[in-house]
Chain A
Amino acid sequence: MRILFDRNTWQEIFGSISKNKIRTVITIIGVLWGIFVYIGMSGAAKGLDNGFERQFETVAMNSLFAWAQSTSKPYDGFKTGRQLRLELSDVQVLQNRIPEIQFIAPRNAKGVFGGDPALIVRGQKSSNFAVYGDFPVFTKIATKKIYDNGRFINKDDIEQARKVCVIGERTRKELFEEDEEPIGGYIRIDNIYFQVVGVHKYVPGGGFETDGDIYIPFSTYKKLYNTGEYIDWLTIAAYDDADVVQVEEDVKSVLKSIHRVDPTDERAFGSFNLGEIFNRIMGFSKGLTFLSLVIGIATILAGVIGIGNILLISVKERTKELGVRRALGATPKEVRSQIILESVFLTFIAGVMGIILGALTLSAVNNLTKDIDFPYTNPTVPIPYVLGAMVLMIVLGTLIGLIPAQRAVSIRPIDALREE
C-alpha cells in the first residue's frame, strides 16, 4: 500500500508511460472510447427520458380522451353506420356513474380535426387559427401557462357567454405589434369581436395543440358556431390512484349505454389513453437506459482488455528493460506493482478523459437540439453511474494488469538479459 503513495513510484510510472507516447495513446484510446460510449449513451438515454417527460408534463398522466365515431353494429333498432355525437349531458352522467373521474372537460374545436380554421382579423391583419370552446376545468387536466396579466376562461365567462378569448403566442405576434399589450385588445373571430383576456405559453410536444390556438368560452363557441349541445370530445382526468385503462373502458361503456350502442361495438367511440402511452414510452426509454448501460459496460470491458493486451505486448517488448531493472535490484513485487499501476493509471486517465469528452459531447448535442422539436432535454448521467464506471475500470484495470505483471516477473532476470 505504501508504494501507492510514494512520489517516486509515480514519477517512475509517469516517466515510463510518458516516454512511450504511441503505446500510451493507443492504450488510452480503447478505454477512452469505452467510457465515452457509456457516458454518451446513458446521457442520451436520460435526455430522451427527460424529453419524453417534458412532452407530457403539461398533461395529467392519468388522463384520457374520448370521442364519438359511428357504430359498426346494428343495435336496438338502429342500423349500422349511425353517426354518433357526444352531448353536453353525457358529462354529468359520466361523472355520476364513474367515481374514479376527477375532472372532465368537454371541448369543441374548429380547424383541428377537420373543418376550416377560423378567420381571425385585427385591423388590417388577418390569419387563420384553430378555435377551441373550453370550460375552465380544462386547465385542471392540461396545464396552460398564461403570461402575466392574463387569465384563462372563467366561470363567469361561461355563464354569461362572454366574448373573450385566450390567444397563443403566435396569434399575438401576427396580430399585435411587438410592444403592444394584447390583453384588453379586440380581435375578430369569424367576424365577431372578442376581447383578449390572456396569452398562453406554448409548450412544445403537447399533442395536437399549437402556439396559435385560440380558446373561447364553451358557451360562446356554442352560439358562434351553432353546435347546440354537441361536443367534439371529452378530456377526462382520473384520480391518481385509479386505473386509467379501467376508467377508459368504463367511460366507453357508459357512453354506449347513453347513446344506445351495442356494448360489444368496438368502433362506436374512440379513445386515447395518455397514461398507457406514457408508460409505454417510459418503458421504452428505461429499456434504452438499460441497453446503454450494457453496451457501455461491454465497451469499457473491451477497452480494458485492450489495455491488458497492449501491456502484455509491451511487457514482451520491455523484457530486457525489466531484466535490467531486476539486475539493478528491483524486487518482483516492485516490478509487478509498476506494471499494475501503469495499467491502472492509464485506465484512470483514459476514463477521466472519456468522461470529460462524453460530457462535452452531451452538452453540445443538448445545445443543438434545444430549439428544435425533438424529445431531448438535459442529458445527464447520474454521478453514481460515473463513479461506478470509474471503480469498475480501476478494478478491471488492476485485474487485467495482473496478467502482464505476472508475465513480467515470471521471466528470470538472466533470461530477460540474454534476450536480444
Chain B
Amino acid sequence: MIEIKDLHKSYKMGSNSLHVLKGINFTAEDGELVAIMGSSGSGKSTLLNILGMLDEADSGEYTLDNVPIKNLSETKAAQYRNKFLGFIFQSFNLINYKSAMENVALPLYYQKVGRKERQEKALNYLERVGLKEWATHLPNELSGGQKQRVAIARAMAAEPKVLLADEPTGALDSKTSYEVMDLIQKINDEGNTILVVTHEEDIAHMCKRIVHLRDGVIVEDKKVKQVRAAEYVQ
C-alpha cells in the first residue's frame, strides 16, 4: 500500500539547513496498523506530512497504492489527499462553526458528492463512532474524546486508502485515549490501513507494528502483539 525508498528531507533555517529525514525506507501492507514512534525532533511528524502529501520530500520515492507521488501540483495533491488519505490530528481540527455532521460531510463536499448523499453518509459514519445523536452539535459542545471521534468519522467519510493519525491521543486523558484507540483498532479490523504517530508506549502497543525513528532514521521496525484497547474500556 505504502512504499517509500531512501526518503530525504531537510529544512532551511536561515543559513544552516536541518537534515530531518536521512534516508527512510518503509513499506506498509494493506490492512496494517503501524505506530511510528520517536522522541520530539526525530522526524516522525515530517514523515507523516510527506506521507500525507502536505509536504514534499527532497529526494526519494514514495508510492501510494501503486501511484507514484512526485512533483504534484497543489491541485493534484489536494485531489490525491481527498481520494487516498484521511487525516486525524492531535488538536482534532474540526471547523468550529460547522456541526459534527457537516464536519464529517466536508471531505465528501470536495468529492462533489450531492448534499443528500453527503448527509446520509456523514450520519452513517457518525453512527459508527457512536455519535449519531450528536450530529447537530457544534464542536465546542463536544468533549475532547467526542471531537476526536468526529474527526475520525470525518477521516473515514471519504473512504480513503490510508488513515494518517498524528498523535491522535495527544490531547486526551488515558481513558478517552483508550476509547479512541479502541475505535481505531475496530476500523483497522475492517481492513483499513492506519498509520499512527505517537510517543506514548502504551498507545504504540495497541498497534500491530512499531517503527522507531531517531534523528531521521528508522532504528527499529518490529511486529508486536496487539494489546486490545477494549480491555481497558468499560
Query: In the complex, what residues of A have CB within 8 A of residue B49's CB?
Result: 414
Answer yes or no: B209 CB below 8 A from chain A CBs: no
26 contacts between A and B (CB under 8 A): A8-B109, A8-B114, A19-B98, A321-B95, A321-B96, A323-B93, A324-B94, A325-B106, A326-B78, A327-B54, A327-B87, A327-B93, A328-B82, A328-B106, A329-B111, A330-B78, A330-B110, A331-B75, A331-B78, A331-B79, A332-B74, A332-B75, A412-B55, A414-B54, A414-B55, A417-B89
Q: Is B97 within 8 A of A331, CB to CB?
A: no
Answer yes or no: B8 CB below 8 A from chain A CBs: no
- Chain A: CB-nearest residue to B138: A19
Answer yes or no: B52 CB below 8 A from chain A CBs: yes
Q: Is A329 within 8 A of B74, CB to CB?
A: no
- Chain B: CB-nearest residue to A9: B109
Answer yes or no: A125 CB below 8 A from chain B CBs: no
Known: A7-B115, A8-B114, A414-B54. A329 touches B93 (CB 8 A): no
Query: In the complex, what residues of B have CB within 8 A of residue A19's CB?
Result: 97-98
Q: Is A329 within 8 A of B78, CB to CB?
A: yes
Answer yes or no: A46 CB below 8 A from chain B CBs: no
Answer yes or no: A409 CB below 8 A from chain B CBs: yes
Contact of B97 among A8, A20, A412, A420 (CB under 8 A): A20
Query: In the complex, what residues of B have CB within 8 A of residue A15's CB?
Result: 97-98, 102
Query: In the complex, what residues of B have CB within 8 A of residue A16's CB?
Result: 97
Answer yes or no: A11 CB below 8 A from chain B CBs: yes
- Chain B: CB-nearest residue to A327: B87
Query: In the complex, what residues of A have CB within 8 A of residue B154's CB?
Result: 328
Known: A12-B109, A329-B83. A320 touches B93 (CB 8 A): yes
Q: Is A417 within 8 A of B109, CB to CB?
A: no
Closest chain B CB from A291 CB (angstroms): 43
Closest chain A CB from B88 CB (angstroms): 11
Q: Is A329 within 8 A of B82, CB to CB?
A: yes
Closest chain A CB from B151 CB (angstroms): 10
Interface residues of A in 323-346 (CB under 8 A from B): 323-334
Query: In the complex, what residues of A have CB within 8 A of residue B149's CB?
Result: none
Answer yes or no: B47 CB below 8 A from chain A CBs: no
Alpha-carbon gap, A334 to B111, bound state (A): 12
- Chain A: CB-nearest residue to B81: A329
Q: Which 10 A-B pairs have the closest CB atoms?
A: A329-B82, A19-B97, A329-B110, A414-B54, A331-B78, A328-B107, A331-B75, A324-B93, A332-B74, A327-B87
Query: In the complex, what residues of A have CB within 8 A of residue B52's CB?
Result: 327
* Chain A facing B: main interface SS: helix
Closest chain B CB from A410 CB (angstroms): 10
Query: In the complex, what residues of A have CB within 8 A of residue B210's CB?
Result: none
Query: In the complex, what residues of B have CB within 8 A of residue A409's CB?
Result: 74
Q: Beta-carbon contacts of B54-94 to A below 8 Å, as 1s and 0s?
A: 11000000000000000000110011011100010101011
Alpha-carbon gap, A313 to B135, bound state (A): 30
Answer yes or no: A47 CB below 8 A from chain B CBs: no
Answer yes or no: B163 CB below 8 A from chain A CBs: no
Answer yes or no: A413 CB below 8 A from chain B CBs: yes
Interface residue tally for chain B (C-beta within 8 Å): 31
Alpha-carbon gap, A276 to B56, bound state (A): 78
Closest chain A CB from B125 CB (angstroms): 14
Known: A331-B78, A332-B74. A11 touches B115 (CB 8 A): yes
Query: In the complex, what residues of B have CB within 8 A of residue A332's CB?
Result: 74-75, 78
Closest chain A CB from B99 CB (angstroms): 10
Answer yes or no: B187 CB below 8 A from chain A CBs: no
Q: Is A417 within 8 A of B93, CB to CB?
A: yes
Known: A7-B115, A333-B75. A327 touches B109 (CB 8 A): no
- Chain B: CB-nearest residue to A322: B95
Alpha-carbon gap, A326 to B106, bound state (A): 11
Alpha-carbon gap, A7 to B97, bound state (A): 20
Q: Beta-carbon contacts of B90-132 to A below 8 Å, as 1s and 0s?
A: 0101111110001000110111101100000000000000000
- Chain A: CB-nearest residue to B89: A417
Alpha-carbon gap, A331 to B110, bound state (A): 8
Interface centre among A8, A320, A332 (most CB of B within 10 A): A8
Q: Beta-carbon contacts of A1-36 to B below 8 Å, as 1s and 0s?
A: 000000110011001100110000000000000000
Further contacts, 6 of them, CB under 8 A, given A329-B81, A332-B75, A334-B78: A328-B81, A329-B158, A331-B78, A331-B110, A414-B49, A414-B55
Alpha-carbon gap, A325 to B94, bound state (A): 10
Q: Beta-carbon contacts of B6-22 to A below 8 Å, as 1s and 0s?
A: 00000000000000000
Closest chain A CB from B65 CB (angstroms): 16
Q: Beta-carbon contacts of A390-409 to B below 8 Å, as 1s and 0s?
A: 00000000000000000001
Query: In the complex, what residues of B have CB within 8 A of residue A323's CB?
Result: 93
Query: In the complex, what residues of A have CB within 8 A of residue B79's CB?
Result: 329, 331
Q: Is A417 within 8 A of B78, CB to CB?
A: no
Q: Beta-carbon contacts of B36-60 to A below 8 Å, as 1s and 0s?
A: 0000000000000100101100000
Query: In the complex, what residues of A have CB within 8 A of residue B89's CB?
Result: 417
- Chain A: CB-nearest residue to B54: A414
Query: In the complex, what residues of A have CB within 8 A of residue B111's CB?
Result: 329
Closest chain B CB from A411 CB (angstroms): 11
Query: In the complex, what residues of A have CB within 8 A of residue B97's CB?
Result: 15-16, 19-20
Alpha-carbon gap, A414 to B49, bound state (A): 8
Q: Beta-carbon contacts of A301-335 to B below 8 Å, as 1s and 0s?
A: 00000000000000000001101111111111110
Known: A331-B75, A334-B110, A409-B74. A8 touches B115 (CB 8 A): yes
Alpha-carbon gap, A333 to B77, bound state (A): 12
Closest chain A CB from B150 CB (angstroms): 13
Alpha-carbon gap, A8 to B95, bound state (A): 17
Q: Is B158 within 8 A of A413, CB to CB?
A: no
Alpha-carbon gap, A344 to B60, bound state (A): 44
Closest chain B CB from A233 CB (angstroms): 76
Closest chain B CB from A116 CB (angstroms): 80
Query: In the complex, what residues of B have CB within 8 A of residue A413's CB?
Result: 54
